């Protein structure tokens, strides 16, 4: 083959490769746009409870789920959705036809108030079969149970739970359960109250806040790789120095009516949103 023909062939191959990359990028963009539209429809759906809708401005669910890369044909495990089911209201109907939503909730060893809430969750699922008839409920308690068949989940999601597991020294077991449930390359999505960088984690244990660097280190030590971080749930108004910790803020308002307007103006906590991949 002449040098000229060889160069021409390389040029054609390069053009084909560039075209393939462009088509792939357009396909991914189109799929992401479809998902964004689907999430938007779910947020506007009539079945969502008023209390959950009121939280949307602080929790930005469409942005968060889009950042994690949730697909309608995925198997998604949510850890401790509870009867409130903020994300369950969005994810279970979204995944119902082509995917699978797994609610990894309480086991029999949970304190009475949590067991009562677990029973409320089960009643809710039975009461709304058009939305929740395909939901699978499993047990979660640190590393004691399989939250899904090993290597079956595309995503494991946890919202505002990490601080509890760290405080109770259950974090290692929880992360083992997540790692076991995920497929190779599966995604762990984590949202929690972002702690102060001028204080060690130990000093913030009772406040409900977690240093972002501490969270990343713990999760990476458990066999995950950080893929990215989103500021969708950032709140610069959160000073993280309240008398009752993060529970001073909405929606808990642990101080009840004391300075309620002040804390209402701050809003819900500043939160990190982290995306990890199982190694």
Q: Say whether both 74 and 37 belong to one domain.
A: no
Q: Say whether both 2 and 54 belong to one domain.
A: no
**HSE-up of residue 159 (Cα within 13 Å, Cβ side):** 20
Q: Say whether both 9 and 112 belong to one domain.
A: no
Pair 81, 106: CB distance under 8 Å: no
Average pLDDT over the chain reads 91
Helix axes 3-43, 88-95, angle to 10 degrees: 120
pLDDT exceeds 80 at position 147: yes
Q: Say whether both 77 and 183 belong to one domain.
A: yes
- Tell me the pTM: 0.88
Q: Say whether both 90 and 207 belong to one domain.
A: yes
* Residue bearing the bigger pLDDT, 24 or 245: 245
Q: What is the pLDDT of residue 157?
A: 98
pLDDT exceeds 80 at position 14: no
Q: Say whether both 66 and 21 belong to one domain.
A: no
Instruction: Give pLDDT tens digits for 128-138.
Output: 999 999 999 99
Calculate the alpha carbon distances from 192 to 15, 61, 83, 248 in Å: 45, 14, 19, 16
At 13, the pLDDT band (50, 70, 90 cuts) reads very low
Pair 263, 249: CB distance under 8 Å: yes
Pair 241, 195: CB distance under 8 Å: no
Q: Say whether both 19 and 130 belong to one domain.
A: no
Domain span holding position 204: 50-278
Q: Say whether both 102 and 153 belong to one domain.
A: yes
- The proportion of the chain whose per-residue pLDDT surpasses 70, expressed as a percent, equals 87
**Counted domains in the chain:** 2
Instruction: Give pLDDT tens digits for 190-245.
Output: 999 999 999 999 999 999 999 999 999 999 999 999 999 999 999 999 999 999 99
């Amino acid at each position: 083959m002449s040098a000229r023909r060889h160069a021409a062939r390389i040029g054609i191959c390069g053009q084909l490769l560039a075209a393939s990359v462009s088509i792939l990028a357009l396909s991914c963009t189109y799929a992401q746009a479809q998902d964004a539209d689907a999430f938007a429809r779910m947020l506007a759906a009539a079945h969502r409870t008023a209390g959950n809708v009121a939280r949307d401005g602080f929790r930005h669910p469409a942005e968060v789920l889009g950042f994690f890369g949730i697909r309608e044909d995925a198997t998604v495990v949510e850890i401790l959705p509870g009867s409130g089911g903020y994300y369950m209201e969005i994810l279970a109907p979204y995944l119902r036809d082509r995917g699978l939503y797994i609610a990894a909730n309480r086991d029999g060893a949970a304190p009475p108030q949590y067991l009562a809430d677990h029973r409320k969750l089960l009643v809710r699922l039975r009461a709304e079969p058009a939305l929740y008839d395909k939901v699978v409920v499993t047990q979660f308690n640190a590393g004691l149970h399989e939250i899904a068949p090993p290597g079956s989940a595309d995503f494991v999601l946890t919202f505002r739970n990490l601080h509890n597991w760290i405080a109770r020294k259950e974090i290692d077991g929880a992360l083992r359960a997540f790692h076991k449930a995920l497929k190779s390359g599966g995604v762990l999505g984590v949202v929690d109250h972002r702690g102060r960088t001028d204080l060690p984690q130990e000093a913030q244990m009772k406040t409900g806040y977690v240093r972002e660097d501490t969270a990343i280190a713990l999760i990476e030590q458990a066999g995950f790789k950080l893929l990215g971080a989103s500021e969708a749930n950032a709140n610069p108004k959160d000073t993280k120095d309240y008398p009752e910790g993060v529970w001073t803020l909405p929606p808990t308002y642990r101080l009840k009516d004391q300075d309620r307007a002040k804390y209402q103006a701050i809003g819900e906590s500043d939160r990190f949103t982290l995306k990890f991949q199982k190694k």
